[in-house]
Amino acid sequence: MSAFICSDLHIATIATRYAALLPGQDAQKIADDLKALNIASVNWRYSKHPPAPVVPCSLADVADGLAFSDLVALCECLDYQSCEPPDYSNPLLDQITSQFKANRRHGVNSALWSI
């Protein structure tokens, strides 16, 4: 299995769209937490390489016009890229994915994986 660090655009889109659904949520903190877990996964997977540094996620760019089914797909990609450690758990991403799933149209899936 392989893993990659998702782009800030990818993570910021998830975080800002989730925060917009639930007022009072801090999009920057959400994005930083999601990115840190993603980087930790890649560092665990490629432990024989120099570790990638954990840096804050930029919220400067966010993908507009994505349907909830697209957001679910982005969450699934991020989850897959973050699940390398054997003790992996990401309740925040699980909650975000559930919220996006609750808002998508029934039966609509997305071919989107990463941005």
User: Is 80 exceeded by the pLDDT of residue 47?
Assistant: yes
Query: Taking all residues of the chain, what is their mean pLDDT, rounded to a whole number?
Result: 93
Angstrom distance (rounded) from CA 18 to CA 97: 9
**pTM of this prediction?**
0.91
- Mean pLDDT value of segment 52-74: 96
Q: What is the pLDDT at residue 79?
A: 98
pLDDT tier at 111, thresholds 50, 70, 90: low
- Mean pLDDT value of segment 16-33: 96
Identify the DSSP state of 105: P
- Residue 77 Cα distances to 22, 24, 38, 64, 115, angstroms: 22, 26, 10, 18, 10
Angstrom distance (rounded) from CA 62 to CA 81: 20
pLDDT tens, 84-96? 999 999 999 999 9
Domain ranges of the chain: 8-103
